[in-house]
Structure 1
Amino acid sequence: MLSQETISIIKSTVPVLEKYGQDITKRFYQRLFENYPELKNIFNQTNQRKSSQQQALANMVYQAAKHIDRLNDLSEEALVVAHKHVSIGIRPDQYPIVGEQLLGAIKDILGDAATDTILNAWAEAYGVIAQLFIDIETQMREANLQKGAWDGYKEFVVANKIQESDGITSFYLKPADGQQVPVYSPGQYISVKVKPEGESHTHIRQYSLSDAYTSDFYRISVKKEEGRHALPEGIVSNYLHDEIEEGQRLLVSAPQGKFTLELDNKKPIVILSGGVGLTPVTSMVKTWHEKGGEQPITWIHAAINGRAHALKDEMQTMAKENPNLTLYTIYENPTLEDQREQAYDKEGRLDMDWLKGILPSKDAEFYFCGPEPFMKLIYNDLLNWGVPEASLHFEFFGPTSQLIAN
């Protein structure tokens, strides 16, 4: 337990963290990689260049300071982070390293304003926060082992590689040791660790499992990320698409993630997916379908056009076989073939007037996943419509605060 004096000191730093938080976390990562370059094998360097990791950490530090006397208020966001930590392989003995470099970054940025009293209070507070994460992540690892999973990474063989659309390819992964794969919840993801030729360190990326559970394999459906604007092409996605062939091996972590479908809830379900964001929700709907789902599902998927629409045949087959599933397709720029085949229900982008017109009620559980602008639109529009936040379920690798409209 933190003393009241420590709590008061931490709370007094909230305005400073609000102003300088991202400067501190930027300096933190600089220090971390200068002093411990081996950690580049764990942390996503593309996200470093985009500053998204710095922003996410700055938000977490700020929120921790703001809620230092009631850390349980951060439990939901902490769980998201903990799932990712377990997935990429963060270990308990790395937390002191992080604390050391974070305190050093605070001192570097704030200078004399970071007094010994403030640094000592933050050291004490960090110890409590770190132990919270260590305990949660230890429980997650133990739960994985109990259900037959593994800790760290395991070799899988690419049993099949299938192009699903212009930019998305599915990889069917089977354990190299011939064992069955452990059960996972629909919506969870795995981490894939690779070291492309010419790269100085390994790269880890998370990919949602895109199929209902089977004991034989995991399926991931990966979008090839092309370089655009100031961002480089996706190192791992391009490597998987261009270099990995059937029969080759990949290092894979056990499934993690809290964006999962609650099948016991009998309320109607609305699913909204954009682009490759359909991967986790495809696993959800296929699981619901195979279990004879009775609660009605309305699934709206948005894509550029039919050529970019992956897994479409699977979606349509389920809709034909289960009258409780209703599909709607939105194409932003439909092709002539899409127009001739009347392959979509709406041209352009998703908007709330149209959504309200097709939904029988807003009294439903909403699941959504897609690019950040898509997520931001849905999150804010649904809240403004009066959907309770507790009924919004989504996958977003960043703080929820980034979704809130300015």
Structure 2
Amino acid sequence: MLTDAQRSTLAATLPAVHGALDDITTGFYRRMFAARPELLDNLFNRSHQKSGDQPKALAGSIAAFAALQLEPDARQQKFILDHIAHKHASLGVTRDQYAIVHEHLFASIVDVLGAAVTPEVADAWDQVYWDMADLLIESESDLYARAGVAPGDVWRDVRVVKRVQVSPDTISLTLAAMNPAESLPTFAPGQYISVQVELSDGAQQIRQYSLTGAPADPTWQFSVKYAGEVSAHLHEHSFEGDLLHVSTPFGDLVLPDDDLPVVLASAGIGCTPVIGLLTAMAQSGDERPVTVLHADRSRNRQPHRGQLAALVESLPNGQLFQWYEEASPHIVSDRVRVGQMSLSDIEIGDDARVMLCGPGGFLSAIRSELTDREVDDSRIHFEAFGPELLRTGAQ
């Protein structure tokens, strides 16, 4: 925990560190991958490193956590840490890896800020890092225990038993345990698994995919859009009978344990967590009001189009609205619209939970609309398909 003196130092230096965080995190990754190149090939997303998205996401999370030590907000801190902990658990991150990050992150801070990093400044920021790390380690240990695995021991080999084309550029894969007599572990609707594949250059790259089947099924299902090196590899090399190396399911975008109204908004392949949530609700005969909003480029490229409509139709109080960038005039109606998703005439009750799934630009736009509608942050939950740029004051 920060002492009063450390908190004062943090307050005095936060603006300077915040302003330099992009340079600090970029230097951190450069240093760490130079010393430990296997981490880039076998743990971190190379595409997000190349684009700069991952350093920005790390910078955002550090800045958000540090700011929350000066103006505490328990709900916001829990939100940040839960998202990170679930992602770390799905990668099998362990306690010892935090020391590796600490070594290279603080070397980068000294590189960037130079003489400004006095012993007092180093001590305060060191405490912030380990406060955050200790909370994450504790949360991740709890996630591993609840999953019934040792810390980091999340990986298993499974067999592809079914492959279905669900849109021109999206496939659905069904996975089964290696022993046909066994079932794969259950999961909470909305959770995801990590999938690790060996690429042509020998790198073992990992990506996360949301589970779309029912938690009680003995198999797992997930969908893959042809985009990025891992997804392209799965399209080209994963067929019935092939093996995949996957993690235990994790993820905190799960169905609230109450009967309050739910609004589910997604874009593109972001429909997959929604499919998982709707499948569970349909099977249980969930009677809560459910409004499903989905945006896509066109109907012919929309993954799970028919399944989405059928699941909503099966709910006693479900309704579906869809937006397409490209659409023929004859399909346009009150429920099928042309253009970007807009919440302008969508009813969102004062007690509704709003769950968002999709790429960063979509999430930012919809969250801005929700803010304009004065929907409280505590009622907004989301799954970002890509590195998540966290910020204080909003999810």
TM-score, normalized by length of structure 2? 0.92
1:373 pairs with 2:391: no
Q: Equivalent pairs: percent with the same residue?
A: 31
Q: Aligned with 1:352: secondary structure?
A: coil
Paired letter, 1:254: T
Alpha-carbon displacement from aligned partner over 1:346-390 (angstroms, at most 9, x marks no partner):
12222233x33xx37454221121222221111110121122221
Matched, 1:351 2:342: yes
Residue 262 of structure 2 corresponds to 269
2:233 to 222, 239, 255: 239
Distance across 2 between alignment mates of 1:293 and 1:373: 31
2:135 is matched with 132
Q: 1:187 aligned to 182, 186, 190, which one?
A: 190
Q: What is the CA–CA distance in structure 2 between the aligned matches of 1:194 and 1:399, rounded to whole Å?
A: 26
Which residue of 196, 203, 218 corresponds with 2:220? 218
1:228 alignment counterpart = none
Instruction: From 390, 396, 399, give the equivalent of 2:389.
Output: 399
Give the Cα separation in 2 of the matches to 1:54 and 1:37. 16
Cα distance, 1:402–1:280 mapped onto 2, change above 3 Å = farther
Shift of 1:260: 0.8
Work out the CA distance in 2 between the residues paired with 1:251 and 1:311. 25
Root-mean-square deviation over aligned CA pairs: 2.5
**Superposition pairs for residues 274-313 of structure 1, below 5 Å?**
274-313=267-306
SS of 2:316's equivalent in the other structure is coil
Distance 1:127 1:301 in 2: 40
1:258 aligns with 2:252: yes
Checking the alignment, whether the CA contact within 8 Å between 1:330 and 1:349 is kept in structure 2 is yes
In structure 2, do the counterparts of structure 1 residues 151 and 209 end up closer, same or farther at CA, with 3 Å as the change threshold? same
What is the correspondence of 1:42-191 to structure 2 with a 5 Å cutoff?
Answer: 42-68=43-69, 70=72, 72=74, 73-145=76-148, 151-178=153-180, 179-191=182-194
AA in 1 matched with 2:190 = G
How far apart in 1 are the matches of 2:151 and 2:280?
20
Q: Deviations over 1:159-198 (max 9, x none)?
A: 111110011110101121342122211111100011122x
Q: Residue by residue, what CA displacement relative to the aligned partner does 1:79-129 show, whole Å, maximum 9, x if unpaired?
A: 100110110121111111111111100011111222233223333332332
The letter of the residue matching 2:373 is: W
Q: Indicate conservation of the 8 Å contact 2:61/2:391, yes or no.
A: no
Structure ranking higher on relative contact order (CA contacts 8 Å, 6+ apart)? 2
Aligned to 1:231: none
Displacement of 1:68: 2.9
Deviation at 1:4, TM superposition (A): 2.1
Partner of 1:19: 19
Q: Deviations over 1:327-364 (max 9, x none)?
A: 2222210258xx479896112222233x33xx374542
Secondary structure of 2:276's counterpart equals: helix
Q: Which runs of 5+ in 2 are unaligned?
A: none
* Structure 1 match to 2:6: 6
**TM-score w.r.t. structure 1 length?**
0.89
AA in 2 matched with 1:251: H
Q: Which runs of 5+ in 1 are unaligned?
A: 226-233
Question: Structure 1 residues 257, 292: closer, same or farther in 2, change over 3 A?
Answer: same
Per-residue deviation at 1:2? 3.0
